[in-house]
Amino acid sequence: MNFSSVEIQKNSSIHRNQAIAFALTMAMVLCGFFYVAGSANADSPAIATVLSKAPDGDVGKKTVCAYCGMHLTVKSDTPGAAYNGKDYYFCDETERDSFVKTPAQYLSKQPSAGIAAAAKTSP
């Protein structure tokens, strides 16, 4: 074995180790994507869904924004979301969208009268 063949073997094992490390990293990344995609399905009660419009029974009711606690009267176009069997209403779409992404975050905070009232006034 001469010097050049030892150097070639050393380079080959470095490249092989890099390829193995890359393949393992990609496998972990793909598993993470599938885990995240599979953990949120539409049937899960832990996920809030956007209401396309307020139900007719809620139109005209007074409630509070589930995000900020501001008093409001529900109209057919009031931004709303359904979560865990209850309808929640919001001042605007931005607040609703924040709630939809992580509803438990907003409901797990110190319960305010606004969130409790919003949940009670919804069917």
d(CA 76, CA 114): 20
Q: Which domain holds residue 60?
A: 49-121
Q: What pTM did the predictor assign?
A: 0.54
Q: Is 96 inside any structural domain?
A: yes
Same domain, 21 and 77: no
Same domain, 20 and 69: no
Same domain, 79 and 27: no
Q: Is 27 inside any structural domain?
A: yes
d(CA 26, CA 109): 37
Q: What is the mean pLDDT of residues 69-92?
A: 92
Render pLDDT for 41-74 as a digit per residue (tens, 0 to 9).
444 556 788 999 999 999 999 998 888 888 999 9
Q: How many distinct structural domains can be found in the chain? A: 2
Q: Is 31 inside any structural domain?
A: yes
Same domain, 35 and 54: no
d(CA 100, CA 76): 19
Q: How far is CA 52 from CA 11, 14, 49, 75, 80, in A?
A: 61, 57, 9, 12, 8
pLDDT(105) > 70: yes
Same domain, 78 and 113: yes
Query: Cα-flanking dihedrals φ and ψ of residue 100, to 5°?
Result: -60, -40
